[in-house]
Amino acid sequence: MARLVLKFGGTSVGDVDRIRNVARHVKREVDAGHHVAVVVSAMAGKTNELVGWCRAASPIHDAREYDAVVASGEQVTAGLLAITLQQMGINARSWQGWQIPIRTDGSHGAARIQEIDAAEIVRRFDEEQQVAVVAGFQGIAPDNRIATLGRGGSDTSAVAIAAAIAADRCDIYTDVDGVYTTDPRIEPKARRMARISFEEMLEMASLGAKVLQVRSVELAMVHKVRTFVRSSFEDPDAPGMGDFDNPPGTLICDEDEIVEQQVVTGIAYSRDEAQISLRRVEDRPGVAAAIFGPLADAGVNVDMIVQNISESGDATDMTFTVPAGDLQKATAILEKAKAEMRYDSLQSESGLTKVSVIGIGMRSHTGVAATAFKALAARGINIKAITTSEIKISILIDGDYTELAVRALHGVYGLDKA
């Protein structure tokens, strides 16, 4: 007997028929003797509809009332799934975030989980064999009001609950059947990985792979929650679906569980990047803080930063990237504070893409970066900026070459070979 958390996203619970299919997945695990908690998202499109209603009521609205409205989508799904399970003869009840309780900070609309008291859920596991159906994406803030966790927050809810009940595994059911070496829509030869480390998944999630929310991967890594990414659209009763040790999908786990570590695990990409270059910035202590401090205060996420070495000792060039949607705001801030930031001119370019090569095996292998640069050069792709970390190389290129670059890198590292 094991404790499992099963999480189902919006497309998986898009209507009552799909909720019935979800219930069959849950029943399979209950019939196997496992204790099960289920975390559900709102039906596909419902959260957007609720957000639209809030904005229609008032463009500037109380964040606490916003949370009260948008949290209702998950509550509807949880109730419907509990009803469906009961109709199938399974002891189940729905839980809203505040009932468990899932305690958060006071940042309504983007709250962070602080603690979960799952004692009552565990008691009902042991004494009543009851399935807990939890409304994801929500908790209770210090002001005793519903607080939502931000977009994709149901993934975070699931991993946090898995940690709180000491679950043996957290299964994230979605509309894809696992984590692939790159986007299969770009590279048809992309392969589903059997296992990937927390660190690699964190990099892929933060660099454009939208399989899991970044915060959920961070939480899984901190609490060592073994997480499976699986498809909810596969037949719940198909052979192997109930295999506890090796179900179909991708296991996200500690790197110690990965016996054979490839040098490169996957290729991620992020479109709609913009580059800003500040020319002849005064080369003195405190200038970087003067530039990036106001951008951070305005909520502009700065990513790749390249500073040229100053030859004369008095001025240097500084280049960095921001999301394309923040380019106008960032340039306005920089131009307004030009005197304090002490630069001569500002240049910007949008329509760029960041392509990243990721793999924990890079720690112990040389020549990984050179291989990437040669592959791109052979296809006439110009590199605008490069940043590296222990397990990642990120390369900024013109957006028109995105698909060519992804396919080239995927092939040159042999990721298309089984």
Could you list the residues known to form a binding site, using ranges.
7-10, 47, 74, 174-175, 180, 185, 210-211
* Annotated binding residues for ATP: 7-10, 174-175, 180, 185, 210-211
Q: Where are the beta strands (DSSP E) in 61-130?
A: 92-95, 102-104, 113-116
Which candidate, 201, 107, 118, places its Cα nearest to that of 155? Answer: 201
Measured distance CA(291)–CA(243) in Å, rounded: 54
**326/331 Cα distance (integer angstroms):** 9
| Cα gap 291→273, rounded to integer Å | 19
**Alpha-carbon 2 to chain mean position:** 26
The Cα–Cα gap between 299 and 292 comes to 11
How far is Cα 100 from Cα 97, in angstroms, rounded to an integer?
6
DSSP assignment of 344-369 equals SEEEEEEEEEEEEEE-GGGGG-SSHH
Order of strands, sheet of 250-253, starting from the edge strand that comes earlier in the sequence: 92-95, 131-135, 35-40, 3-8, 169-174, 227-231, 250-253, 195-197
Burial of residue 399 (CB within 10 Å: 0-12, 13-18, 19+) is middle
Cα gap 200→226, rounded to integer Å: 14
Following CA atoms 92, 98, 104, 107 in sequence, which dihedral angle do they give, to the nearest 10 degrees? 120
Residue (of 95, 106, 229) closest to 164 by Cα position: 95
**Pairing, β 113-116 against β 102-104:** antiparallel
Binding residues for substrate, by number, are: 47, 74
Contacts of 395 (CB under 8 A, 6+ apart): 354, 355, 356, 357, 372, 376, 383, 385, 386, 405
Contact between residue 291 and residue 342 where contact means Cβ atoms under 8 Å apart: no
Q: What is the rounded distance in angstroms from the CA atom of residue 14 to the CA atom of residue 35?
A: 25
